[in-house]
Structure 1
Amino acid sequence: MKKLTFQQLLQARLSRRQSLQLGLGALMTSMLPMPALARTALADSVSKGLLGFQSIPVSHLLDDIVVPPGYQAEVFFRWGDPVSDGPEFQMDASNSAADQALQAGMHHDGMDFYALPRGSNNSDHGLLVMNHEYLDLQLIHNDGSHLDSPDSYSADKVLKEQQAHGVSVIEVKKIDGHWQIQRPSTYGRRITATTPMQISGPAAGSDWIKTAADPQGLKVLGTLNNCAHGKTPWGTYLACEENFNGYFTNAEQAEVSSVQRLRWQRYHLGRSYYGWQQFDTRFDMAKEPNEVNRFGWMAEIDPYQPDSMPIKRTALGRFAHENAAFRLTRDQRVVVYSGDDARFEYIYKYVSHEAWDGTQGSHHGHLLDNGVLYVAQLHEDGSGQWLPLVWGQGPLTADNGFADQADVLVHARLAADALGATPMDRPEWIASHPELDSVFVSLTNNVQRGSGDNVSADAANPRNHNLYGHIVRIDEADPAALNFGWEVFALAGGEEDGGTIDGDIYACPDGMLIDDRGVLWVQTDIADRQLNSGDYAKFGNNQMLAVDARTGETRRFLTGPVGCEITGAVMAPDMKALWVNIQHPGSVPDVLRAQGVEKSPQNPRASSNWPDHHPQGRPRSATVLVTKHDGGVIGT
């Protein structure tokens, strides 16, 4: 097959997009759902004025939050703040593990809002539920972790690090026009890396899940590296486990079979960023080789029931889950989309066998246990198909090394490889549009594409050495459909980089939210060391932008402090309050390292002292509340 140049691929994508906007193209008409085509064909004037705020400029190394004129941003919930009636944060990070179990975890990420009472659309009272993805080991203790202070590393430090992971549930209420956290609260809760959880679905009780501590393979302690999330139609929260491989190590280099070694290699296992295996043997693969198979799932949590046990839903597959985007089929079956956030990984969707009856309650969670997981194959002509990860079908057989359905799901990456899925440029968040029959997929970047023996550019990933990332749109007549159409919605970067952004430029799209008006909110994650330097200098600090999903018009709405990632966003139902998460402020970009700036346990404020700006403080991930001065709808 003749290889197309980047410009040819780009022109093909842009020509198709123009055809969609004009309602032309017989080929695309036969492939795409008519409702999506009809809506996309509307003139730009239909959504004129959708973005009503004044765009803000790029922020270079400013250690603060910036929002447009007429808006205000206030720090709302920081690492170490009590979720209910727990202890206050100590600026020297001297809080104990017991304290941390009652406080906000570190590195806020995906989050959602749950109105009170359950099933209501109340915009003044609810629960805010959020993930805590990972840790800054130079900040979590006052003298550092196993890397900086190996001699003082202890079981107590391990426990504090584990308690800083997981999920926070806080009760929030609007009182006299101002949002407040309710303390104490019967709903306030922490779920951590030590919280008991049930395992359900096809992999539950399988030989892949059983351990010495859990010979039945039905219970696991904790959830970790929770990146983004999902909100089920029945009012529960999915905490998505992403880079779980960074917690397990083969400390003794145990000899294993060639099959096991291949499976470990496919998930990049064996080297841990943490030192937990020193005091918690379940993180030592030589001592407990199956513990790692108990992570990489989605954990369902009922925020309305603080005593309920979370459940890991194995039918959704095991990989580096970014988030979970929900849609319903025409017959009310549940569809869950998720990206595997690593270079050359895949886009998945799950379709339940049974329909949801429209009522609320965690008892509907069984819908996530019985269904089919699919992986996407995107073709050069803008069509695509979903390939089922079902044992016994196609190459997923015992002859090809798959013992049963549990094996297929535990090793979903290998199953997707066998099916010929399309390797993508780091699939991140997926967001569903409330009016178009479309989901949008952010692809952050992939500088390895086209280098060495790696896969070269294709229509869905049209740039080799992809520095800036892109966003793909998938159109389906019905979420149950196994065929779909797709297009490159936006190539990130400036025009000189081949970018196709209509308005304010950005790089490395990551977090996404589509609000009820149809505005696509895009958050960026330029790697902390690359911020404000080299190829990324023009983008400044990481940012959040509003995009008209119909026209592509893009305006910069928020910029963050030094070294941070902008990630996780949710609005109150009336869209008059926006919560945004600021993760890992204080990470040191190379442009500052070149000036001799180095962070350490002894110098935690080297590059940032946000949000407290306390003379003896330290950078703290935090949730920020954004409102309009006039109390109006966000984005207008």
Structure 2
Amino acid sequence: SAGGGTLDTGFVPVAPNTADAVTVPAGHSSDVVIRWGDPVIPGGPAFDFENQSAAAQAVQYGFNCDLAVLFPMDDRDERFLLTVNHEYTTEPMMFRGYDSAAPTREQVEIAWAAHGLTVVELASRRYDGGLDPVMGSYNRRITATTPFELRGPAVGPLTRTTADPTGTRVLGTLNNCAGGHTPWGTVLSGEENFNQYFGTTGSVTDPARVEALRRYGVSVGESGRKWERFDSRFDLAVEPNEVNRFGYVVEVDPWNPDSTPVKHSALGRFKHEGGTVHVTADGTVVIYSGDDERFDYLYKFISSRTMVPGRTPAAREQNMRILDEGTLYVATFTGNSPESEIDGTGALPSDGAFDGTGAWIPLLTVDSAGNAVSHVPGMSAEEVAVYTRMAGDAVGATKMDRPEDVEPSPSTGKVYLALTNNTRRTVGQVDEANPRHDNKHGQVVEITDDHAGTTFGWNLLLVCGDPAAADTYFGGFDKSKVSPISCPDNVAFDPAGGLWVSTDGNALGFNDGLYSVATEGPNRGETKLFLTVPVGAETCGPLVFSDRAIVNVQHPGEKDGASIENP
């Protein structure tokens, strides 16, 4: 059983492969639920690749998809509400003859409409359990031009623009990656690589501003996408603060298609990979989020408000303010082995595990009146909220190997963090939580957290790669009996508490996939490949139920030099 639960994971693992198809175990079948361009809004046109328009794309399912959240519809038998985000667009796959040096306005506006999120009702087919889209009343497209409310301590001089002198009304959400859902029925989605959308037709010279842009990977020249040619809000010389309005956890209420989504700045601004929820016994809400960059950090937010049970309108109204007040923390990891035993090779230390303790360092607190206090010397609360990475630098947070999805187990409360890879880490930069230099394959961290407190214990459950290699570790399980795994990205749990891990960028030469990983009992560390996606794709947003699994197949065919003309 996966994770010590009772869900049957007795499937025969899929063999590693390079098939240009979705591959599932014997006894299982796969089916497409919804694809790029499928109509979502009633009356939306059928997809016409040769004649795509921005108006059509705005009512059709968007491009590359990462997060998936599926809520059962209590009032409708075998109906579900699916929310998916659309991380980015791959224009050479979308347009014939795409010229990256000279995109057209129509192409750019189609890309704006292909970003954001989709909410769509699904119906289960009675004869085989497959899921089909329904033109339901909840269906919605959120795009790069949908109004959002920016809320919290970032609001101020650093978020005000010509079009929005209040600093609170932002058009759109960009590069949404992993996320989560709340017990009150909303979806949390993390804005990740927002840096790629901003450039300038002029020049940026202020040294402090140049450094802040550099720390977030924002170009101070022309952007690759050239959006600044078509909307001056993406031009750093014209609107220096627009970029500060992206990089947050956004909250969407899929049950109210007329609602304004919220960007929660109390959770910090960085390349959010996810936003997942743990609720303690007394109703305290804790949100975990990783910053997906080499040498960046793991964060958590502890709300000072407790959750109101139930989903009545009054309860939901209260709960929708939970992420407005509390304290934002960043993590430090300390190993318990002598430094001499962490030599960069990945060899286990003498105690037989990469493990240790950790601490959560406070960065920012927001009180019930909305007043924010910085815990970082030399930085205001607004600066901590907008330049959270620099706050993490200032307090000495532990530099990790690309913290991607992080999720607490609903059964044990242990928190699992995927560290995807970091080929830039040198021998002199290793530590017990990141024990390999030139780390191509990544690792999975298991954290036993004092959720509402400031200390934790940790160990590496998986040190990924070729099981035959000396530098890999599978929780102590027999490495000759596991599936090879590389570049863990998303983590998820099945109803029995079993852990599932999906991958992005497999460096072992075969396609990415979805794996079950046992976390408890004698099989702890057993890793089995359940599903693989086509060539060039990553496996995202896994949802695993007793009778079905859902994955997002993101950017199939996206290889260097590939295009519609050269697939």
Relative to the length of structure 1, the TM-score reads 0.79
Q: 2:37: which partner in 1? A: 80
Pairing 1:283–2:262 present: no
Distance 1:123 1:561, change over 3 A: farther
Pairing 1:567–2:540 present: yes
Number of aligned residues: 524
Pairing 1:510–2:489 present: yes
Map 1:124-523 onto structure 2 (within 5 A): 124-147=78-101, 150=102, 153-177=103-127, 178-204=129-155, 206-256=156-206, 258-270=207-219, 272-360=223-311, 362-363=316-317, 364-381=319-336, 382-390=356-364, 396-397=376-377, 400=378, 402=379, 404-450=380-426, 456-476=429-449, 478-494=450-466, 495-501=468-474, 502=477, 503-523=482-502
Deviation at 1:49? 8.2
Percent identity between matched residues is 39
Give the aligned residue type for 1:112: V
Q: 2:55: which partner in 1? A: 98
Instruction: Indicate conservation of the 8 Å contact 1:336/1:349, yes or no.
Output: yes
**Partner Cα distance (2:519, 2:47) in 1:** 41
**Partner Cα distance (1:216, 1:47) in 2:** 50
**Partner Cα distance (1:292, 1:174) in 2:** 41
**Partner Cα distance (1:491, 1:420) in 2:** 25
Q: 1:545: which partner in 2? A: 515
Between 1:50-59 and 1:460-469, the stretch displaced more is 50-59
Q: Which runs of 5+ in 1 are unaligned?
A: 1-42, 590-597, 607-636
Map 1:36-47 onto structure 2 (within 5 A): none
**Partner Cα distance (2:148, 2:562) in 1:** 36
Deviation at 1:182? 4.2
Instruction: Indicate conservation of the 8 Å contact 2:268/2:386, yes or no.
Output: yes
**Partner Cα distance (2:415, 2:330) in 1:** 15
Instruction: Indicate conservation of the 8 Å contact 1:338/1:349, yes or no.
Output: yes
Q: 1:584: which partner in 2? A: 555
Distance 1:420 1:73, change over 3 A: same
Distance 1:79 1:46, change over 3 A: closer
Deviation at 1:142? 3.0
Instruction: Indicate conservation of the 8 Å contact 1:114/1:126, yes or no.
Output: yes
Between 1:350-359 and 1:388-397, the stretch displaced more is 388-397
Per-residue deviation, residues 560-596 of structure 1 (Å, max 9, x unmatched) = 1111111111245xx322211101111226xxxxxxx
Relative to the length of structure 2, the TM-score reads 0.88
**Partner Cα distance (2:410, 2:261) in 1:** 28
Pairing 1:524–2:503 present: yes
Deviation at 1:483? 0.7
Deviation at 1:144? 1.5
Distance 1:567 1:180, change over 3 A: closer
Deviation at 1:359? 2.0
Structure 2 SS opposite 1:99:
helix
Instruction: Indicate conservation of the 8 Å contact 1:525/1:566, yes or no.
Output: yes
Deviation at 1:225? 0.2
Per-residue deviation, residues 37-66 of structure 1 (Å, max 9, x unmatched) = xxxxxx999669852111110112x11111
**Partner Cα distance (1:173, 1:242) in 2:** 31
Give the aligned residue type for 1:259: A
Structure 2 SS opposite 1:389:
strand
**Partner Cα distance (2:144, 2:558) in 1:** 24
Give the aligned residue type for 1:167: L
**Partner Cα distance (1:311, 1:182) in 2:** 26
Per-residue deviation, residues 475-516 of structure 1 (Å, max 9, x unmatched) = 02x410111100011100123151113411110010111112
Structure 2 SS opposite 1:324:
strand
Give the aligned residue type for 1:416: G
Q: 1:52: which partner in 2? A: 10
Deviation at 1:519? 1.4
4+ residue runs over 4 A deviation: 43-50, 391-395
Deviation at 1:91? 3.5
Give the aligned residue type for 2:532: T
Q: 1:595: which partner in 2? A: none
Q: Name the Cα RMSD after superposition.
A: 2.1
Instruction: Indicate conservation of the 8 Å contact 1:51/1:548, yes or no.
Output: no
**Partner Cα distance (2:374, 2:55) in 1:** 51
Give the aligned residue type for 2:489: D
Instruction: Indicate conservation of the 8 Å contact 1:566/1:581, yes or no.
Output: yes
Give the aligned residue type for 1:547: V
Give the aligned residue type for 1:261: V
Distance 1:394 1:190, change over 3 A: closer
Per-residue deviation, residues 71-112 of structure 1 (Å, max 9, x unmatched) = 0001111111111331111233x2100000011111111110
Instruction: Indicate conservation of the 8 Å contact 1:431/1:441, yes or no.
Output: yes
Deviation at 1:180? 3.9
Distance 1:440 1:405, change over 3 A: same
Give the aligned residue type for 1:466: N
Deviation at 1:175? 3.8
Q: 2:343: which partner in 1? A: none
**Partner Cα distance (1:44, 1:410) in 2:** 40
Distance 1:65 1:218, change over 3 A: same
Instruction: Indicate conservation of the 8 Å contact 2:401/2:422, yes or no.
Output: yes
Structure 2 SS opposite 1:74:
coil
Instruction: Indicate conservation of the 8 Å contact 1:103/1:190, yes or no.
Output: yes
Deviation at 1:200? 0.9
Instruction: Indicate conservation of the 8 Å contact 1:50/1:548, yes or no.
Output: no
Structure 1 SS opposite 2:508:
helix
**Partner Cα distance (2:146, 2:250) in 1:** 11
Distance 1:213 1:497, change over 3 A: farther
Instruction: Indicate conservation of the 8 Å contact 2:290/2:405, yes or no.
Output: yes
Deviation at 1:347? 0.2
Q: 1:602: which partner in 2? A: 565
Distance 1:519 1:48, change over 3 A: closer
Distance 1:278 1:142, change over 3 A: same
Instruction: Indicate conservation of the 8 Å contact 2:293/2:402, yes or no.
Output: yes
